[in-house]
Structure 1
Amino acid sequence: MSAAHEAAPDRSAGPAVRTVLGDIDPAGLGICDAHDHLFLRSPQLPGQELADTGAAAAELAAFRAAGGAAVIQWTPYGMGRFAGELPRLSRESGVTLVAATGLHQAAHYDPEILAGKRVREDLAGLFVAELTEGIGGTEAGGDGPRDARPRAGMIKVAGGFHGLDRHARYTMAAAAEAHLATGAAIGVHLELGTGALDVLDLLCDELAVPPDRVILGHLNRSPDPVVHRMAAEAGAYLAFDGPSRANHATDWRLPDALTALADAGFADRILLGGDTTTAAARSVNGGPGMPYLLRRQRRRLELALGVGLVTRMLTENPSRAFSAEWP
């Protein structure tokens, strides 16, 4: 029986991964896509919304057939998470799902969402509520009323290109406050893979978030070995997520980047994901989609790093990165 079916509503002691079906033992996570999206809506991606529940179910089935067991969905507040659909999709697919709270870059929202009272006046409280009480009711941004109220299991925020604007600092401050209240990991979208050290300076040095509770996303898009090494030495998790796009460094750099980190003793800091953000990118629509991580990337990385090490990156590392001592 899969972890998705084994999840219990409450778990009283020890670290746990908070899934949409309840908290589970981290050891039950299995082969994990550590950064992806089943649902997503943004004014930056008109006409490419991930809003089809049938396509989401098909994508999960394809991922499961490729050997996948768990998906961390990084879609945050106000971007069409369809959170109430996630428990059903998890049960039917047998894939464990973790939902996110948090807030993306301002450009990904209609102005009325950012002007909403919850975002303006108590963003940290919103994050904490979604982590501890559940995502439900009518959410700005199109999530709509749902029967289920799954709890989020992580916080997602975003930096800018080689820096942090006022919006990023505001959302990261709220994320830090929510982390300190709940223990939840903070995943950070790095714009084109840049700004990792600025993020760590803010979250860890200024806002007291332990580095091992920070997950830096999209580092494959900026294959800078010095920055990778410095972020790993600081204690953060490093996410390499998604096949290359036209404006990103090509995939052939990835094995070398991960080999350098592993040789330096940081293999336990590495996370792997798919980051499907458009309808055209789904495997069921002819794109790479969720199965690409296991069908293509995994095999390439195993040639460079060995089967055992890559398996640890897909299992043990995410089980630590996304678990927490939930209050």
Structure 2
Amino acid sequence: MVTSAPEKVRTVLGDINPADLGVCDAHDHLFLRSPQLPGQELDSVDAAAEELAAFRAAGGVSVVQWTPHGMGRHAERLPELSGATGVRIVAATGLHQAAHYTPESLERLRAQGLAELFVRELTEGIGHSGVRAGLIKVAGGFHGLDGHARWTMTAAAEAHRATGAPIAVHLELGTAALDVLDLLCGELAVAPHRVILGHLNRFPDLALHHQAAEAGALLAFDGPSRAHHATDWRMPDAVRSLADAGFGDRLLLGGDTTTAGARSVCGGPGMPHLLRGVRPRLERAVGAELTELMLTVNAGRAFGVAWR
């Protein structure tokens, strides 16, 4: 009789049971660097430690960092930060949109093999850090997928098949979710429950949300609105609509802190906002039970893998 391996969440300090993930920020960044965000780099270890401590003080237990390859992950610093603050951290491999990289770096990745890089970072470690990634992060475009997105998602699907790792997708302003599912789950045969669609709060189209949930994907509502988007007030309605339709077990919450000024220790909402602002707002709108499910059980289900 063949028995499958138990599902584990791959943190920077080792694999843990999904139930041990606790209250989880399912999409955030401790470190991030991009030419698209000059002068706003998340590169301070001290600030990252302070932010994690503030998140822990607000009741947080785990953070999933979606920062992919080539964007200043500082993987080698993550274990000490996790140990010092008591916050579990999950790191990512993967690749963002082409705009975040130089043409030369992308050519090097094409030459060395992108899927091979993802598999190595998931199973052996990121660079020489020994820290293994626990998910693959890729990105779509605005209302569509360009050649770069198709290349990275094809590599992500190959790495998923080799390892079991979940695939987390940055949806540009919340768009192109169905295009992503057509590619990943249709053409590339990735199981839908292994795909996490990010930023759906930025595109509050309830019909599209229901289509994505019906397809079997996980839906992440991650990051407070920018001032000119003003979508926060619609997010509880989306959550309620999806839960009423039976999809409450597919919903995730995250903070998505992407700039230094957005950190709570720098005057922004930061990681604690998820628990001090978003959680009570959702509890009032949809109840404490569903909110807790999104922050704990669903996160464990999303990132728990029978690793190969």
Aligned pair partner of 1:124 in 115, 124, 142: 115
The one of the two structures with greater contact order (alpha-carbon pairs below 8 A, sep at least 6) is 2
- Which is worse superposed, 244-253 or 89-98? 244-253
Q: CA RMSD in A?
A: 1.0
Q: For residue 133 of structure 1, what is the aligned residue in structure 2? A: 124
Aligned partner (choices 99, 108, 133) of residue 100 of structure 2: 108
Q: Could you list the runs of 5+ residues in structure 2 that have no partner in the other structure?
A: none
Answer yes or no: is the 8 Å Cα contact 1:222–1:248 preserved in 2. Answer: no
Quick check: 1:85 aligned with 2:66? no
What whole-Å deviation, never above 9, does each CA across 1:20-72 have from its counterpart, x for those lacking one? 00000111000000000000000000000000000000000000000000000
Q: Give, in whole Å, the separation in 2 of the partners of 1:247 and 1:190.
A: 18
Percent identical: 72
Shift of 1:247: 3.7
- State how far apart, in whole Å, the 1-side matches of 2:47 and 2:233 are: 30
Match of 1:45 in 2: 37
Aligned letter for 1:280? G
What is the CA deviation profile of residues 70-116 of structure 1, one whole-angstrom value per residue up to 9, with x for unaligned ones? 00000000000000000000000000000000000000112222121
Question: Which residue in 2 is equivalent to 1:140?
Answer: none
In structure 1, distance between residues paired with 2:262 and 2:180: 28
Aligned partner letter, 1:135: I
Structure 2 matches for 1:50-65, cutoff 5 A? Answer: 50-65=42-57
Cα separation, 2, equivalents of 1:119 and 1:221: 32
Q: TM-score, normalized by length of structure 1?
A: 0.92
Rounded Cα–Cα distance in structure 1 between residues aligned with 2:155 and 2:193: 18
Residue 5 of structure 1 aligns with which residue? none
Residue 315 of structure 1 pairs with residue 306 of structure 2: no
- 1:210-229 equivalences in 2 (<5 Å): 210-229=191-210
Q: How does 1:100-249 map to 2 (within 5 A)?
A: 100-116=92-108, 118-137=109-128, 148-249=129-230
1:280 aligns with 2:261: yes
Tell me if the contact between 1:192 and 1:248 (Cα under 8 Å) persists in the aligned partners: no
- What do the CA deviations read for 1:202-248 (whole angstroms, capped 9, x no partner)? 00000010000000000000000000000000000000001100342
Separation of aligned partners in 2, 1:158 and 1:305: 30
Paired with 1:188 and 1:102, the residues of 2 have a C-alpha distance of 10
Aligned partner (choices 3, 19, 23) of residue 31 of structure 1: 23
CA-to-aligned-CA distance 1:144-183 (integer Å, 9 cap, x gap): xxxx321000000000000000000000000000000000
* Runs of 4+ with deviation above 3 angstroms: 118-121
2:91 match: secondary structure: strand
Cα distance in 2 between the residues matched to 1:154 and 1:90: 17
Task: State the distance in 2 between where 1:197 and 1:191 align.
Answer: 13
Q: Write the letter of the residue equivalent to 1:134.
A: G
Structure-2-length-normalised TM-score: 0.97
Which whole-Å CA distance do the structure 2 matches of 1:132 and 1:33 have between them?
23
